[in-house]
Structure 1
Amino acid sequence: MFISVRQWKWWLPLALAIPFFCSCRTYNSAVAPYYQAVSQGRFDEASTQLDKARFFRYGRNKLLFNMEKGKTAFLQGRYHESNLYFNAADSILSGYRGSRILDQTLGLVVNPAMQIYQGEDFERLLIHYYKSVNYLQLHQLEDAEVEARRISLGNYALNDRKKNNDKKYSNDAFSLIVQGIVYESAGDVNNAFISYRNAADIFLKSPDRRYYGVDMPAQLQADLLRTADQLGFQQEVQYYEQQFGRVYHRPADNDGGSVLVFWENGLAPVKAESNFFFTLTERGPGNFVFTDPNSRIFIPFDFNLFPRDSCDRLRRHLEAFRVAFPSYVEQPLYYTAADIQRDSTFSTTLEKVEDVNQLAFRTLQERFLKEMGLALTRLAIKKLAEYEIRKNDEVAGELFNLISLLAEKADTRNWQSLPHSIYYSRIPLKKGDNKITLTLKGKDNTQKVEFNVVGNGRLQTLHYASLQKS
């Protein structure tokens, strides 16, 4: 078939775009060797696989690379190196503003997977958790306090983005608990109390005192009451005793200090691609909505976004659309609970303090309508461009339509080395050596992990990850 010069203007760029858009791999499949290695505890190999993965050579994926590298170094106990990567991730997030308009335009015209990855809201706050623990492990208390103050800034920014909507993820209780732990480790009891109080108030305002899959930890209650008592805030002690339904008993003096144990259990959900089908219908004169086949979802569509002379054409031809949208797939848990013991004289059960799995599913659901509306607008823009091309070249218009269909992909990127959930507990220490035994419990298996912690009269931190899939 003879192709004119005018047609080549469309054929060449579109033909070159086909190999790029035809890939149907999700992020999970693109980094499968890395994910398999980290899930099985082979952290050195996981780090090497990250360096080898072609996926991370694109600038839009640099945030993911630094978050994954930072977490892998954290799991290896390489705390200084871990924070180098997390600091790089912070720089990417703070530097995004300058490219925001161009980046958003690219996502609207092509697909959101082509945009610079900015991280989920909870992912950004978890960077502060890892950096804080890194600094505490390195005994860099001043740096840890700086990071603690940045946790407040992160929560303020989250609250602003969600317009102080208590029905959405607009505060993060876990990050405030971590903030309190940092301040307490640095001897700043007053700021520790404020952090614990702010975290507790988030639970108290929530239905059933449950926040995104987490019941208010008894450890948080104890820490709030203890720090209030240390500061002589007896009115606050009495108030929160009533709120918690418990009586505060001042703990015995402990010359060895205590250790705060974090257990990271399982793996966060991974993103897959789901297809939604919508039809444009008119609901009243001039009111158009996209609705799914079951008429459960209604998304208004504003034709005023487009030039007036294009509206009639869109109304005549804009009928049914397939929209690719991300969906989470939960990863099975190998262990479901854990106890911790000190020298056969003290034992307790670790409490869940952060449910990353719940956060992922629910925050995606919260923004579904907004992002689906953007996706439908993107498809309408492509359809309008197709009509304009067809006016001059029918073949090029057909090819553009094909490429548009191939380019319709969901953004399936997420921070995959995050845990399914995080548990914690505070263990009193005696002066000198303390044998700490962590017992992990599954349906048909148990595992014991032993640590030696030297009691030095201060608050210390300890972490352990059991990320393997069943």
Structure 2
Amino acid sequence: MSHFLRLTGAALCALILSGCATYGAGLTGAIEDLQKGDYVASEAKLQQALKPTGGDRLLHYLELGVVKHLQGDFAASNALLETAGQIAEDMETTLMSDLLLTLMSNPRQGPYPGADFEKVFINYYKALNYFGLAQLAQTDADRQAALDGARIESRRLIIRLNDLNTRKGNFKEAADEEQQTFTQLLKLFSALQGNLVDMDRIKYRDDAMAHYLTGITFEMNREYDDARISYQRAAEAYEKGFAKQYRLDDGVTEQAWFDTIRMMRLAGGYDSEWRRLASKKLSKARRAELDLWTRDKAQVIVLEHKGLAPHRKEMNLELSANPNMQALQLRPYFIGNDQAQLAWFYVLYADKGILDAVSNYLDAVEVGYVLNSFTKTVNIGPLWQTAEELGLVTAIGSSMRVTVPYYEPVKALGYSNLSVGGQSLAMHKASNPALMAVQEQMTRAGYDIQMALARSSLKAITAQSVGQVGGNFGGLLAMAGKLAAQLTDAAETRNWLLLPQEIRLRRVVLEPGEHALTLESQLPTGIKRYDNQISLQPGEIHFWRVRSLPELGHTQASPVKQLIKTSN
């Protein structure tokens, strides 16, 4: 018996180590090398940590695609991201076949399918890569081929965003729904019950920055009316909810309208319309600026990818059965869970309304009021007898561990300023992948807890049934099986970690000639300065990408000067 217990204990220790490590922890070394600017070392560690087959195959191609992009190997980056796109598309139709494996083990043993916003960023990075290839092109034909590639990615982006709008509704439809009387009443009573998060308001339903990028692509290809359409879709998305949802700057909304109006002027046939739109959407200073953007001038587009995407983490919950209420109850472990985890649980799960008051009243003698502020009660009522017959109540016993994913609060990054031609211009917050990740996780909270409960319950019942046929060792086997099931349970902690936390943008018009650009970026580890000396020709569009990170050592800006010429 003692020998069996030692073997069981050793196995459980190994299972703890294998079951509880998060995805982000496994890539720490690769991320640190990236922060130092050692992209080659980062690539090597990613190759070692992420395999091109198995459950992490999508992330293998996503993470390496970003590293190759930063190295300036744009063709290799596009090849990796093209494969990533194919994998994500295939998994949209085959994911259900892996559901049983995931349910019986844990989500991290199944394939990672990618979030909707991550799939949009596949096309986003591919378009940027084509811009880089256009800059490196030795002939006009090669340059035009690269810009054609960017156009194709832009059209793929449009298709993907249209699909998002169809499935989740666009910002205008969401705003219209908000005004319906019945919808307002539902929200009123939802607030009365204590629900703190309106999931419909935080859906990823469109991407203004992606529309804006397609506008740049069409403008570079001199397709001014297509550019107008994309810039206008960007402006409307920013204005109707995207900017507010992801805490972006008003300046980027005005910039998108500014470029919409510029394209109207270039395309022709919109004389009265552009004047009316300019009067409505642009400040007096920006209306005056329209006349400066002539065909003989040059443009500079500065795109800063700032910070790193947050790591998705795991929170442990305690599941217990409450016969008095005929309910299952969840509480976070108060040892081992930090303040951010408790806040996540309270906002997304905890009973905060009438149900909470009933639970407090019925259980006050046992656990008190304070603890019940962090309780999620799942009333199963008539199904309680079914739960008993299935052996669930017995399998749960005094308590059982359940895991769910969460994000810590994302702190806003500091200022970014562009200096050029004697001007100091604030970089506009144009997109926020970090908040996209957090809000996407919030919308999945209900599904996550349902799957976690079902997964843990099924494994506990299985362990209990094994114990019933185990003879003299039945109780021990049941206990060991339950412990093993709980210790190996794990939440889905994978996400695309090399995405930036924020994307900032500034677009200026300059006279042809020599110019010095300086980007000053405030990061948690201090202020970083990036310099670039450029020579502009009439009609050129100069695209400068900067990757600013909270660095462990010296990091360069984009290793390749981004200069793309267009003939207006």
TM-score (norm. length: structure 1): 0.85
Query: How far apart are the structure 1 equivalents of 2:441 and 2:410?
Result: 17
Query: How far apart are the structure 2 equivalents of 1:50 and 1:442?
Result: 25
Counterpart check, 1:210 vs 2:233: no
Query: How far apart are the structure 2 equivalents of 1:169 and 1:204?
Result: 15
Query: What residue identity is the alignment partner of 2:260?
Result: L
RMSD: 3.4
- How far residue 93 of structure 1 moved from its aligned partner, in angstroms, is 0.5
What pairs with 1:67-466 in structure 2 (closer than 5 Å)?
67-139=62-134, 140-162=146-168, 167=201, 168-206=203-241, 210-216=244-250, 217=252, 218-231=254-267, 232-233=269-270, 234-235=272-273, 238-239=276-277, 241-243=279-281, 248-249=287-288, 250-252=290-292, 253-281=294-322, 288=327, 290-292=329-331, 294-295=372-373, 298=376, 300=378, 311=389, 313-315=391-393, 317-318=395-396, 320-329=399-408, 336-342=414-420, 344-393=421-470, 394=474, 395-441=476-522, 445-466=527-548
2:138 is aligned to none
Query: How far apart are the structure 2 equivalents of 1:299 and 1:237?
Result: 58
- How far residue 306 of structure 1 moved from its aligned partner, in angstroms, is 12
**Structure 1 residues 189, 302: closer, same or farther in 2, change over 3 A?**
farther
**Larger CA deviation: 40-49 vs 425-434:** 425-434
Query: How far apart are the structure 2 equivalents of 1:399 and 1:291?
Result: 22
Q: Give the secondary structure class of the aligned counterpart of 2:51.
A: helix
1:65 is aligned to 60
Contact kept, 8 Å, 1:266 with 1:469, in 2: the verdict is no
Query: How far apart are the structure 1 equivalents of 2:488 and 2:318?
Result: 16
Query: How far apart are the structure 2 equivalents of 1:272 and 1:404?
Result: 20
- How far residue 192 of structure 1 moved from its aligned partner, in angstroms, is 1.5
Query: How far apart are the structure 2 equivalents of 1:185 and 1:35?
Result: 34
Gaps of 5+ in 2: 135-145, 175-199, 332-370, 553-568
Contact kept, 8 Å, 2:456 with 2:486, in 1: the verdict is no
Query: How far apart are the structure 2 equivalents of 1:83 and 1:183?
Result: 19
- How far residue 52 of structure 1 moved from its aligned partner, in angstroms, is 2.6
**Larger CA deviation: 95-104 vs 406-415:** 95-104
Query: How far apart are the structure 1 equivalents of 2:66 and 2:263?
Result: 31
- How far residue 404 of structure 1 moved from its aligned partner, in angstroms, is 0.5
Query: What residue identity is the alignment partner of 2:521?
Result: L
Query: How far apart are the structure 2 equivalents of 1:138 and 1:37?
Result: 25
Query: How far apart are the structure 1 equivalents of 2:450 and 2:330?
Result: 11
Query: What residue identity is the alignment partner of 1:112?
Result: P
Deviation track 1:406-445 (CA, whole Å, cap 9, x = no partner) reads 1111222222222121111112243354433323345864
**Structure 1 residues 446, 73: closer, same or farther in 2, change over 3 A?**
closer
**Structure 1 residues 295, 377: closer, same or farther in 2, change over 3 A?**
farther
Contact kept, 8 Å, 2:387 with 2:393, in 1: the verdict is no
**Structure 1 residues 163, 352: closer, same or farther in 2, change over 3 A?**
closer
What pairs with 1:37-56 in structure 2 (closer than 5 Å)?
37-53=33-49, 55-56=50-51
Q: Give the secondary structure class of the aligned counterpart of 2:405.
A: strand
2:22 is aligned to 26
Deviation track 1:276-312 (CA, whole Å, cap 9, x = no partner) reads 234444797x7x4544453556465769999969745
Query: How far apart are the structure 1 equivalents of 2:53 and 2:265?
Result: 53
Query: What residue identity is the alignment partner of 1:454?
Result: L
- How far residue 19 of structure 1 moved from its aligned partner, in angstroms, is 3.9
Query: What residue identity is the alignment partner of 2:122?
Result: I
Deviation track 1:140-173 (CA, whole Å, cap 9, x = no partner) reads 1111111101112222333345466651221112
Query: What residue identity is the alignment partner of 1:452?
Result: I
**Structure 1 residues 348, 215: closer, same or farther in 2, change over 3 A?**
closer
Q: Give the secondary structure class of the aligned counterpart of 2:72.
A: coil
**Larger CA deviation: 404-413 vs 246-255:** 246-255
Contact kept, 8 Å, 2:514 with 2:533, in 1: the verdict is no
- How far residue 46 of structure 1 moved from its aligned partner, in angstroms, is 0.8
Query: How far apart are the structure 2 equivalents of 1:273 and 1:258?
Result: 46
TM-score (norm. length: structure 2): 0.72
**Structure 1 residues 298, 113: closer, same or farther in 2, change over 3 A?**
same
**Structure 1 residues 297, 142: closer, same or farther in 2, change over 3 A?**
farther
Gaps of 5+ in 1: none
Query: What residue identity is the alignment partner of 2:225?
Result: N
Deviation track 1:331-371 (CA, whole Å, cap 9, x = no partner) reads 778x72222233x3554221111122222222212221221
Contact kept, 8 Å, 1:355 with 1:420, in 2: the verdict is yes
Q: Give the secondary structure class of the aligned counterpart of 1:214.
A: coil
Q: Give the secondary structure class of the aligned counterpart of 1:68.
A: helix
Query: How far apart are the structure 1 equivalents of 2:231 and 2:259?
Result: 7
Query: How far apart are the structure 1 equivalents of 2:531 and 2:72?
Result: 16
Deviation track 1:256-279 (CA, whole Å, cap 9, x = no partner) reads 431211011111211222222344
Query: What residue identity is the alignment partner of 2:59?
Result: L
- How far residue 80 of structure 1 moved from its aligned partner, in angstroms, is 0.9
Identity of aligned residues (%): 25
Query: How far apart are the structure 2 equivalents of 1:400 and 1:66?
Result: 36
Q: Give the secondary structure class of the aligned counterpart of 1:276.
A: strand
- How far residue 42 of structure 1 moved from its aligned partner, in angstroms, is 1.2
